[in-house]
Chains A and B, each alone.
Chain A
């Protein structure tokens, strides 16, 4: 049975439609991550599942039970907020015990559960402190502790790590991953962070403008984005998106002319293109190659003349930002060290079997990497 089921769920604030018909089934024990730009409706959708926002239309089922109109506390969910949202007038112990007290558990049972949560989250030393005396990471652990003592059917996280600094974020990310492994509970997690989404998710739900754009395992979304939004959103650095025109198309082959002064032509296998169509070609930075100007380009690569704008050296990886006459700079990822210099004239090699093709409406078209 599905842990959570959303059926054509909609939400409007006054006249503004924020969630525009979402259908989604989440399996028991699954870790699902909602990603999307700011304002895309991730929090709203999560809060609707929690019961903190009313549902304008559609149904929400948790564990097979219709909870569309149920109070948050009747849904068997627990939620961790971005702002921690601890009770400032209670110490850590009471914060964690609060929902057990409201549910009228016995003193011994409460104590047992709080101690157990404290052990899992390594909070034992802090139980008598007040929230004001904790660091950000400790506060977020208390918030998680408050969630786990109730043995919820579903955990909801709304950007739980975004207030933490980078090192702590990595540590807490690993803790949440461990928690999911140990408890095996269904988790729904909202984040902006690529790494969190890619590493934590069993499935990613990409949301834009109140609609689901694509659902699938992280590497699926990475390798086979359904549309321009997902292509541009998943992956860091971003996929390069190059506007082009279809010059010729026949027998599942097409020639695209890039909208650049160089007029570079790319031969692709693709279906459904017709001559004159405006398309967008998507290429991941790691599939591009930098070749010295004037040098012969290896077979299978299409060369695009470009000039190096800037170079970022991270030690193990180098990012080169190139001006190839396209509207946006082209990002190239080079493993290891590279001696590229700003201002240098080079050629970018596109691997034609690694090019995603999107039509004018942004939907993906069949290609070697598409589907």
Chain B
């Protein structure tokens, strides 16, 4: 790679590329920017000031207090629940999909092709389509209104199996596995001592996608959970917002959940995803395999 770069010259092609990119950044970025700014503003300001006016610290902290203290810190319970569901679900999906994908990629056994096909089908089936069957199943098992039930249901992550399968069948250097076998690694050690450490990027990726799916999962949680102490954030906040009438034009009530609180709630859902993305991305991009072979 050359360390010197050619001087940038503006031609039509490059201009079109940049213009398209700039448009996309604005189109998708502005609503997000608005969301974060709006979190600092009072209700009055939201209605009257220009869209990107900054709010005040007082307004923000009042909104924060209103939202968090409402109904005996209910929202903190939901956030905690969300965390439990996500951590549990992500762990379960990792435990299931990483070894699953590895086995599919690295060994030959009868039915392998069939399992791959089923994985693919399960992957493209919309998750909402199976919510009701899952509900009936968990109901039967008496798990429908429990932490374990939702975690169990969200640990099912065929996309993770497929992603891992693709990674292990394309990116694991055969020579490295062979030489570990010669070195005396048994099947289990091959997986734990060689494949798994080399799969850190894919583990991060599967964990991230699985987290994303579980953290923002509304419908499944909505169907499975009837006790509002077990709600996750999306279900809880939806219930809160519709219950408070914050977004409707009904005559004002005395519930302190108004538009600023709704905005802040949305931020609370989005922010962890952003943070986790940034953490996961670092793993995904690091070149785990350099130096193994010719390199």
Judge whether B194 is part of the interface by a CB distance below 8 angstroms: yes
Note all chain A residues with C-beta closer than 8 A to B186.
Answer: 71
- Which among A73, A79, A88 is the interface contact of B289 at CB below 8 angstroms? A88
Judge whether B3 is part of the interface by a CB distance below 8 angstroms: no
Judge whether A237 is part of the interface by a CB distance below 8 angstroms: no
Judge whether B13 is part of the interface by a CB distance below 8 angstroms: no
A87 touches B180 (CB 8 A): yes
- Which among A79, A82, A83 is the interface contact of B182 at CB below 8 angstroms? A79
B291 touches A83 (CB 8 A): no
A99 touches B184 (CB 8 A): yes
Closest Cβ of chain A to B295, distance in Å, is 7
Residues in A81-111 with C-beta less than 8 Å from chain B = 81-89, 98-99, 102-103
B183 touches A84 (CB 8 A): no
Judge whether A356 is part of the interface by a CB distance below 8 angstroms: no
Judge whether B292 is part of the interface by a CB distance below 8 angstroms: yes
- Chain B residue nearest to A74 in the complex (CB): B184
A146 touches B179 (CB 8 A): yes
- Chain A residue nearest to B176 in the complex (CB): A85
Bound CA span A133–B287, Å = 13
Judge whether B175 is part of the interface by a CB distance below 8 angstroms: yes
- Interface core residue of A52, A136, A163 (most chain B CB under 10 Å): A52
Count A interface residues, CB 8 Å.
34
1/0 per residue B205-236: CB within 8 Å of A? Answer: 00000000000000000000000000000000
Judge whether A244 is part of the interface by a CB distance below 8 angstroms: no
- Chain B residue nearest to A81 in the complex (CB): B175
Note all chain B residues with C-beta closer than 8 A to A84.
Answer: 175, 292-294
Note all chain B residues with C-beta closer than 8 A to A81.
Answer: 175, 178-179
Judge whether A360 is part of the interface by a CB distance below 8 angstroms: no
Closest Cβ of chain B to A56, distance in Å, is 16
A86 touches B176 (CB 8 A): yes
Residues in B254-295 with C-beta less than 8 Å from chain A = 287-295
Judge whether B134 is part of the interface by a CB distance below 8 angstroms: no
Interface residues on B, range: 20 to 34
A87 touches B292 (CB 8 A): yes
- Chain A residue nearest to B289 in the complex (CB): A88
B183 touches A89 (CB 8 A): no
A73 touches B182 (CB 8 A): yes
A79 touches B291 (CB 8 A): no
Bound CA span A78–B178, Å = 11
A77 touches B182 (CB 8 A): yes
Closest Cβ of chain A to B268, distance in Å, is 37
Judge whether B197 is part of the interface by a CB distance below 8 angstroms: yes
Closest Cβ of chain A to B125, distance in Å, is 35
B184 touches A163 (CB 8 A): no
Judge whether B198 is part of the interface by a CB distance below 8 angstroms: yes
Note all chain B residues with C-beta closer than 8 A to A51.
Answer: 181-182
Note all chain A residues with C-beta closer than 8 A to B288.
Answer: 88-89
- Which among A52, A130, A139 is the interface contact of B181 at CB below 8 angstroms? A52
Bound CA span A139–B176, Å = 13
Note all chain A residues with C-beta closer than 8 A to B184.
Answer: 72-73, 99, 102-103
Judge whether B117 is part of the interface by a CB distance below 8 angstroms: no
Note all chain A residues with C-beta closer than 8 A to B289.
Answer: 88
Closest Cβ of chain B to A110, distance in Å, is 13
Judge whether B185 is part of the interface by a CB distance below 8 angstroms: yes
Closest Cβ of chain A to B293, distance in Å, is 4
- Chain B residue nearest to A80 in the complex (CB): B179
- Chain A residue nearest to B198 in the complex (CB): A89
Bound CA span A81–B181, Å = 13
Note all chain A residues with C-beta closer than 8 A to B194.
Answer: 87
A131 touches B292 (CB 8 A): yes
Bound CA span A136–B185, Å = 25
Judge whether B65 is part of the interface by a CB distance below 8 angstroms: no
Note all chain B residues with C-beta closer than 8 A to A85.
Answer: 173, 175-176, 178-179, 292-293
- Which among A77, A89, A132, A163 is the interface contact of B197 at CB below 8 angstroms? A89
Judge whether B189 is part of the interface by a CB distance below 8 angstroms: yes
Note all chain A residues with C-beta closer than 8 A to B182.
Answer: 50-52, 72-73, 77-79, 99
Q: A85-B175, A89-B197 known; A146 and B183 CB under 8 Å?
A: yes
Residues in A57-83 with C-beta less than 8 Å from chain B = 71-73, 77-79, 81-83
Bound CA span A9–B290, Å = 37
Judge whether A134 is part of the interface by a CB distance below 8 angstroms: yes
Bound CA span A79–B181, Å = 10
Closest Cβ of chain A to B195, distance in Å, is 10
> Residues of B at under 8 Å CB distance from A?
173, 175-176, 178-186, 189, 193-194, 197-198, 287-295
- 16 A-B contacts, Cβ less than 8 Å apart? A50-B182, A51-B181, A71-B181, A73-B181, A73-B185, A81-B179, A82-B175, A83-B173, A84-B292, A84-B293, A85-B293, A87-B292, A89-B197, A98-B183, A131-B291, A131-B292
> Residues of A at under 8 Å CB distance from B?
47, 50-52, 71-73, 77-79, 81-89, 98-99, 102-103, 130-134, 136, 139, 143, 146, 150, 163
A-B residue pairs, 5 tightest by C-beta = A131-B291, A132-B291, A85-B175, A73-B184, A99-B183
